[in-house]
Amino acid sequence: MNKAVTPDNLTPANPALHSDKWRRISPASVIYFVMKFITGVLRGGLQSVAPVAAVLATTGDNRWFALGLLAAGAAVLLMVGAVLSYLNFKFRVDRDAFLIRSGVLTRKRLTLTFERIQNVAFREPIYFRPFNLVVLTLESAGSTSEEVNLAGIPRPLAETIRRFVLERKKETSQTAPVNVEPSNEHRSAESEPTANLLRQPVSELARYGVSNNNVWVFAGLTVGALGQFDKFWESSVMRGMFDLVGETVGTSLFALSALAVLLTFGVLLILMFASVVGAVIVNYNFHLSYTDGRYHRTRGLFERQETSVPETKIQSLKIAQPVIASLMNRSHLTFNQVGFERKQNQGRHQKFIIPSVQSEFYHQLSRRLFSGTNVLEQDLTRINGKFIFRHIVFSFGLPSLLAAGISTYQWGWQGLFFLVVPLIALPFVALRKRRHGYLMDGEHAVVRSGLFGRNLTVFPLFKAQSIKIIQSPGQRKAELASLKIKLAGQSLTIPYMDLSDARTWRSVSLQQIDTRTEPWM
């Protein structure tokens, strides 16, 4: 029978969490510190290889001997630093907080209280698997510099710590005994059975790799990187390649255009294949489940990751459907949560993504998340058509007219080409107007946007941090407005909606904020 453990009886009878004992992580964590340093060097880019370049430039015929000495010295320093990092890292679970000691040259002391811990996540790098060790990450709701990684602790201990932290967070608002026995075979009578929501096969992960927008990100990075090698494009090698192309396909405009299309298509296929491989590696064996008020996600091939998010901290559900995903009848979901926007702005990857699902799944998930709401199953209200007029005239028309006047003065009638820009932009503006839509049922709302693809965001109105009505002079005259909604995880804008709708949204949201008492932080 499990023993209910409170902060006052954390005794040696429960050795996993002895409150007076400083604990060490596993000696295998030396590998983690080595890999962490190497990763930091790789992220440093050109600055990290500057010492190597200096050696090559100054040592002449002895450069290889000097490089060997440099590599050996770096390896020794790396191992010494990793060993010292392991020796100086200690942690302890106190009554209300985690206590951490770390640092080599600069000693650090960190106290992380349970109420500030936003999430407890597991990572299982491939080099820890033979030892049944994990990296346990304690994510704080404050500064990201206070995030704690316990690298190289046994999985049973990590699971015990996670349960203890989550139960102690509950205990801060509900004075009840806490169960923190390491075994997970016995659960309290109040615990919910685990609901297995989704398992993704490799085929769905491949669809995600093909249909997400990472392909275009890779393409942009590739083009930017190639643009840095001006000397390469002017080299004899490239001139020889151009001569070979001319001899093979000819120099006619049609032949060169066809070759350019084929090469572009080939490059996109390579990038798409890379995106698929990356999606499978990151999301391999994807599993989404729900228990005790938290959504749990496990994924990863080389590094197994186990993360969870409390249901109360989910601010909105984003349903993204890029163009290729729409052809496959798939969408990609994201839980936007407290702290999401801040951490993304700091370059951290905190997205809780559910890849490649069909509409039936996200309808069920939205009903589970948001009290059975069916806003996704209703027709949305579209924005006013004056949205098109405003963008064609002010966003494209006036700038094009100004550019045409200046260009015509300098280059003659050819400058009039700029007057065609509004006509080219018209179908895209009309498509964007068609994508915009909104709906509210009194407690929950959905906002749609996009251009070629579409994004749907579902959220409870009482979680809105602010809601603002904005009117331009033209909108005031036409009884229209733009509504800006600020959530803890993102901002949403509904442009050119009827003023009466905007006022209704604002009044209902304020009423929900004043009357609803559920926790959401």
The answer to whether 471 and 485 have CB atoms below 8 angstroms apart is: no
Asked whether the whole model's pTM tops 0.85, one would answer no
Q: Which two tokens stand for residue 57?
A: 């430039």
Closest CA to 371 of 487, 516, 503: 516
The answer to whether 104 and 292 have CB atoms below 8 angstroms apart is: no
In this prediction, residue 492 carries a pLDDT of 93
Cβ count near 148 (within 10 Å): 16
Query: Where do we find the tokens 């989404």?
Result: 288
Ranges of beta strands (E only) in 83-132 are 90-93, 97-102, 108-113, 117-125
**How many domains in the chain?**
2
The answer to whether 450 and 432 have CB atoms below 8 angstroms apart is: yes
- Give CA separation, 69 vs 39, 48, 63, 73, 272, in Å: 22, 17, 10, 6, 41
- Any domain includes 325: no
The answer to whether 178 and 9 have CB atoms below 8 angstroms apart is: no
The last residue of one of the domains, among 186, 205, 234, is: 186
Closest CA to 400 of 383, 421, 380: 421
- Any domain includes 272: no
- Give CA separation, 320 vs 291, 312, 376, 460, in Å: 25, 22, 13, 18
**8-state DSSP, 487:** -
- Any domain includes 306: no
The answer to whether 19 and 95 have CB atoms below 8 angstroms apart is: yes
- Any domain includes 396: yes
pLDDT tens profile 83-118 = 988 888 988 887 777 888 888 777 888 888 877 777
The last residue of one of the domains, among 160, 186, 212, is: 186
Q: Cα dihedral sign for 211, 213, 216, 222?
A: negative
294 — alpha (psi -120 to 50), left (phi > 0) or beta? beta
In this prediction, residue 248 carries a pLDDT of 67
What string of DSSP letters covers 53-84? Answer: HHHHHHSGGGHHHHHHHHHHHHHHHHHHHHHH
Q: Strand 381-382 vs strand 437-440: parallel, antiparallel, or unpaired?
A: antiparallel
Q: Strand 454-460 vs strand 314-321: parallel, antiparallel, or unpaired?
A: antiparallel
Q: Which residues contact 240 (CB under 8 A, 6 or more apart)?
A: none
Q: Which two tokens stand for residue 386?
A: 């004056």
Q: Which two tokens stand for residue 362?
A: 């996200």
**Three-class SS state of 47:** helix
Q: Which two tokens stand for residue 135?
A: 């990296």
- Any domain includes 343: no
**Three-class SS state of 349:** coil
The last residue of one of the domains, among 186, 219, 254, is: 186
- Any domain includes 175: yes
- Give me the tens of pLDDT residue by residue for the chain, a chain 521 residues long: 334 334 344 333 344 555 567 888 889 989 988 888 887 777 655 455 556 655 555 655 666 777 777 778 888 888 988 898 888 898 888 777 788 888 877 788 888 887 777 778 888 998 898 888 999 888 775 544 457 788 888 988 888 888 887 777 666 555 444 343 343 333 444 556 788 999 999 999 999 998 887 666 655 555 555 554 555 445 555 556 556 666 666 666 666 677 677 777 887 888 888 889 989 999 999 999 998 888 999 999 988 898 888 888 888 999 999 989 999 999 999 998 865 444 444 444 458 899 999 999 999 999 999 888 888 989 999 999 999 999 999 988 898 889 888 888 777 777 788 888 889 999 999 999 999 999 999 899 999 999 988 999 999 999 888 899 999 998 999 999 999 999 876 889 999 999 999 999 999 999 988 888 776 66
Give me the helices (H) in 131-213, please. 155-173, 202-211
- Any domain includes 116: yes
Cβ count near 394 (within 10 Å): 12
In this prediction, residue 68 carries a pLDDT of 77
- Any domain includes 143: yes
Give the domain range for residue 410: 386-432
